[in-house]
Structure 1
Amino acid sequence: MPTRAEDFEYIRSSVSEHLAASTPDAMLIAGDSLERLQSFPDNSVSLILTDPPYHSTKKSNIQGDTSFQEDEEFLDWMEKYAAEWKRVLRRSGTLYVYCSAQMSARLEVMMSKYFRPLNHITWTKPNEPGYDGWKGKMKKESLRNWYPHSERILMFEHGSYGSWEAYRRSPIGEYLLNCRKQSGLSMVLLTEMIGAYGKVNRGGAVANWEAGRNTPSREQYEKLVLALEGTGNVEKMLDYNDLIRPMNVNKNVEFTDVWNFMSVRPFKGKHPAEKPQDMLMHAITASSYPGDIVLDCFGGSGSTGVAAVRLGRRAICIELDETWIARSAAEISAAKFNEDFDAPKRIHHMTKTEDLPIDGLFD
């Protein structure tokens, strides 16, 4: 399997004529992202964090938001992305898709044909008075449904749901099962060799890993590799980062499926759908490893790319609207990895541009 650096440079060379900005750790690709994705190699992106047009909001100042007359047209268009995302996302990858509450259920059902749904996250946007959009201005007595003061973020991984046997369709479980069969070791013997005993069944933790119910730690996986490769029947196994989907959360950061991050405050040149850096960095920190490739197919002002670079990841943003390509190019080109920035401890307390640890960047 190619390294992340090799995949990144391959993508750079394949889209070189469409690059609007390029640095050692980031690139901005101009054009239709569905077309540009076709140049990406299979299994090359570790995290897709993207904010497509919501369709239901019908904002004329957001490219593509008014392009579809019927919901089915929008869903058909998004399904084309789902197929491409499934192709380019690494086995250990994660996909986040921002969407409106009105379209989230139908998007999740459609995308479940390609991915295993993990979470239906609610972003509550707890803004201060004066920065809450129409919420404080509108006539409440005229409402015929609850005011939509939240957005949704759908989270997926490779695999699917189903019967007990279907759990083995998870990338981790299927891979470990195949490796053990090649080794000739029984589940019980492998369990004894690595000392991962279970409280209920003789297969211990190995049974749960192969069924896709949970995953081995890095230390446990190293023991698995030594045992399985040691039989001489198994070729060099995948690196832990290429197999196990990261999920880095703890009690000191937001770990529930309700996210409380303030919206980006208005400023000259703000993108109408711009997402706050603290929320983007929260997702990137939780769902990627350092050096991973982070992809945003609807780059907007480049916020996702900036957040990824600041956290020591490689960023790829694709943007169609020429209005935003110039700002995005400037933002991504100026972004730098901050070695002193402790993301898990600090990003959850930042809500304003002036709070950010890197000067000169919009949030």
Structure 2
Amino acid sequence: MEPYFEDRDAGIALYLGDMREVLPALDLQADLVLTDPPYAETSLAWDRWPKGWPTLAATAALSMWCFGSMRMFLQQRDEFADWKLSQDVVWEKHNGSGFASDRFKRVHEIATHWYTGDWRGLHHDVPTERSGRRGGGEGGMRATTTAREHTGAIGSKTWDGSDGVRLLRSVLKVRSMHGRALHPTEKPLGILTPLLTYACPPGGLVVDPFAGSGSTLDAARQSGRRAIGIEADERYCEDAARRLSALVLDIA
């Protein structure tokens, strides 16, 4: 199968088509699936749930970040039967959208992390950030904390407050792409990159079965990872190809 766009030096490829046909044909094993599927929450023509896609994703990688809403995950819970839920992260936007005038305005989306097999055997970097404070309370975290089952007992000494580093919080505040987006549900690199670097090792391969305008591929290349994207709408394949081509600098 020929890619719609390819940058061999960076290990980036984009394919046009339905992921339910393309992904099995590629027959690949990636380190991570990172994707934002249609939520099936509107009457828009493109907002249709591709039945069976999570099962196919489980054949391509043992780890997956999937964006969605609480409604989506509850409605489609049976589709994730091949996966075990590890954790969830909330993306807080600077603005949001809502379809009802009698409910709280939704300014967030959820990203859930799923895995198959043995948790200890999966790549997952400890996500840390500078806390701006030292000593006491939630000041810091030892980067050498030993790996343990994510559902197991909390370690007796996780925080030490010595170096001003703490675990990255599960609520990430990142500006949305409102007014700048090439795709109606485009995710900013600021929310994609920490998820990608957490679960995919440097030089590893990430797959996005719903690539849209190529944000995941962009984030992967800028963080030193390889990436394969699949997009069913040729309009967005064109946008993604232009976007990714613009990142290739010919300095010869």
1:39 aligns with 2:18: no
Structure 1 residue 248 displacement after superposition: 3.3
Structure 1 residue 117 displacement after superposition: 0.2
Q: Greater share of strand residues, 1 or 2?
A: 2
Query: Aligned to 2:31, what secondary structure does the other structure show?
Result: strand
Q: Percent identity?
A: 25
1:202-256 alpha-carbon deviations (Å, 9 max, x no partner):
xxxxxxxxxxxxx4xxxxxxxxxxxxxxxxxxxxxxxxxxx43223312437723
Per the alignment, residue 331 of structure 1 pairs with: 243
1:52 aligns with 2:37: yes
Match of 2:13 among 9, 19, 27: 27
Cα distance in structure 1, aligned partners of 2:72 and 2:238: 30
- AA in 2 matched with 1:34: R
- AA in 2 matched with 1:26: I
Per the alignment, residue 88 of structure 1 pairs with: 60
Query: Aligned to 2:183, what secondary structure does the other structure show?
Result: coil
Match of 1:99 among 46, 51, 68: 68
Contact 1:33 1:319 in 2 (8 A): yes
Structure 1 residue 133 displacement after superposition: 5.0
1:8-62 alpha-carbon deviations (Å, 9 max, x no partner):
xxxxxxx22xx111111100101111100111336x11111101111113344xx
Cα distance in structure 2, aligned partners of 1:49 and 1:249: 17
Contact 2:123 2:199 in 1 (8 A): yes
Q: Greater share of helix residues, 1 or 2?
A: 1
- AA in 2 matched with 1:115: W
Alpha carbons of structure 1 residues 134 and 32: separation in structure 2 relative to 1, 3 Å? closer
1:304 aligns with 2:216: yes
- AA in 2 matched with 1:313: R
Whichever of the two has the greater Rg, that structure is: 1
TM-score by length of 2: 0.75
Cα distance in structure 1, aligned partners of 2:71 and 2:20: 24
1:169-212 alpha-carbon deviations (Å, 9 max, x no partner):
xx26xxxxxxxxxxxxxxxxxxxxxxxxxxxxxxxxxxxxxxxx
Per the alignment, residue 238 of structure 1 pairs with: none
- AA in 1 matched with 2:25: S
Per the alignment, residue 125 of structure 2 pairs with: 247
Match of 1:153 among 111, 127, 133: 111
1:331-362 alpha-carbon deviations (Å, 9 max, x no partner):
2233369xxxxxxxxxxxxxxxxxxxxxxxxx
Unaligned runs of 5+ in 1: 1-14, 68-73, 160-170, 173-214, 216-242, 338-363
Alpha carbons of structure 1 residues 113 and 46: separation in structure 2 relative to 1, 3 Å? same
Cα distance in structure 2, aligned partners of 1:83 and 1:133: 30
Note the 1:94-243 alignment, pairs <5 A: 94-107=63-76, 109-125=77-93, 127=94, 132=95, 143-159=101-117, 171=118, 215=120, 243=121
Match of 1:277 among 189, 211, 234: 189
CA RMSD of aligned residues (A): 2.4
1:57-87 alpha-carbon deviations (Å, 9 max, x no partner):
3344xx2x0x4xxxxxx4xx44x11211111
Q: How many residues align?
A: 212
Unaligned runs of 5+ in 2: 131-165
Query: Aligned to 1:45, what secondary structure does the other structure show?
Result: coil
Per the alignment, residue 313 of structure 1 pairs with: 225
